[in-house]
Amino acid sequence: MAINIEEIQAPIAQEMQDFEEKFRVSMKSKVLLLDKITNYIVKRKGKQLRPMFVFLTAKLCGEINDATFRGAALIELLHTATLVHDDVVDESNYRRGFFSINALWKNKIAVLVGDYLLSKGLLLSVHNGDFKLLEIVSDAVREMSEGELLQLEKARRLDINEEVYFEIIRSKTASLISSCCGVGASSVTTDVDIIKKIRLFGEKVGIAFQIKDDLFDYGNEEIGKPLGIDIKEKKMTLPLIYALNRATWLDKRRIIFIIKNQSHKSKKVNEVIEFVKSSGGIEYTTNKMNHYINEALEILHSFPLSPTRDSLEGLLRYTIERKK
């Protein structure tokens, strides 16, 4: 049974609609160029997973209120800021099917727009005294940048192991989803146990989400992202780490040589992909992903049954069943 995002959104449909308008207003500037770009950003919005996590966890733990909206806007502003900065970082020409801000407007503007969005997010929180929310989100920004830098550091030396892999994906991806859930809960309750529990739920979902993303690199024709892109960027993800750990000395040397020196050749990249597949790297990684999903489910099931809980379960399933 395919998962329908609109169905998942049902318990918070009105809030998601109101949020879109509030978010647009929160980016307004008197500088024309900025307004053009932020309008463009609103148009290319994705599946809105982050605000969905905020509103659903808020509803799971209490009553959605104005702080929930501001929390969701803070996350979107800061996340959009890092996406815009990422457009410079990734040198990617596409994001979500549109040209990236970078390709259209050049690096110069991208960095400044990122800084602008960031400051707008900060001011929104500071003006409303949302300090707990600000703390949660600042922590996520710190973790995300540390995680990405750790990954870059490791990519240079190709010496990554499974433990470091999980440390990287926990900080670069899971910290954001965890902070969405933390912001949702913190906006409606001060119960620290509940907040802690829901953050842990977000972390598990985030880890599974990133594992799924890393699996896409090994074959899914529906995805926009080209196959083998991680290998080309010398990012060692779980399927490859597992396969290398179990490889003969000769195979290991051959694969590492390709990644180091020939990863610009598609044929050679395909050789790595085949090696990983035949070593059982995909099955192992899929099992790991399911393990995290089950842990997340267990936490979720400690909350009473409700349409909101069902929706969060739907989001969990979406994480692993999505086609891109």
Nearer to its own copies among residue 119 and residue 262 (C-beta): 119
* Closer Cβ to its own copies, 13 or 123, answer by number: 123
Task: Provide, rounded to whole angstroms, the least separation between the CB of residue 82 and its own copies.
Answer: 6
Determine which residue in the list 47, 96, 142, 253 makes contact with its own copies, applying CB under 8 A: 142
CA pair distance 112, 166, nearest whole angstrom? 32
User: What are the DSSP calls for 110-164, one per residue?
Assistant: HHHHHHHHHHHHHHHHHHHT-HHHHHHHHHHHHHHHHHHHHHHHHHHHT---HHH
Structure tokens at 18: 């109101």
> Does 16 contact its own copies by CB under 8 A?
no
**Alpha carbons within 13 A on the beta-carbon side of 45:** 17
Question: Do 282 and 171 form a contact (C-beta atoms < 8 A)?
Answer: no
Candidate list 2, 25, 32, 305; residue touching its own copies; CB under 8 A: 32
User: Binding its own copies by CB under 8 A: which of 10, 42, 112, 256?
Assistant: 112
Establish if 108 lies at the interface with its own copies (CB under 8 A): yes
Kindly indicate which of the ranges 86-94, 190-198, 219-227, 314-322 contains the residues binding its own copies, using the contact rule CB under 8 A.
86-94
Q: By CB under 8 A, tell whether 122 contacts its own copies.
A: yes
Listed in sequence order, the residues at least 6 apart from 171 whose beta carbon sits closer than 8 Å to its beta carbon are 143, 144, 146, 147, 150
Task: Tell me: does residue 13 bind its own copies (CB under 8 A).
Answer: no
Of these, 94, 123, 290, 301, which contacts its own copies (CB under 8 A)? 123
Cα separation, 211 vs 41, whole angstroms = 27
The single residue among 21, 126, 162, 190 that binds its own copies, judged by CB under 8 A, is 126
Cα distances from 176 to residues 53, 210, 258, in angstroms, run 10, 11, 33
Which residues lie near its own copies (CB under 8 A)? 29-34, 82, 85-86, 88-90, 107-109, 111-116, 118-120, 122-123, 126-127, 129, 131, 134-135, 138-139, 141-142, 144-146, 148-150, 152-153
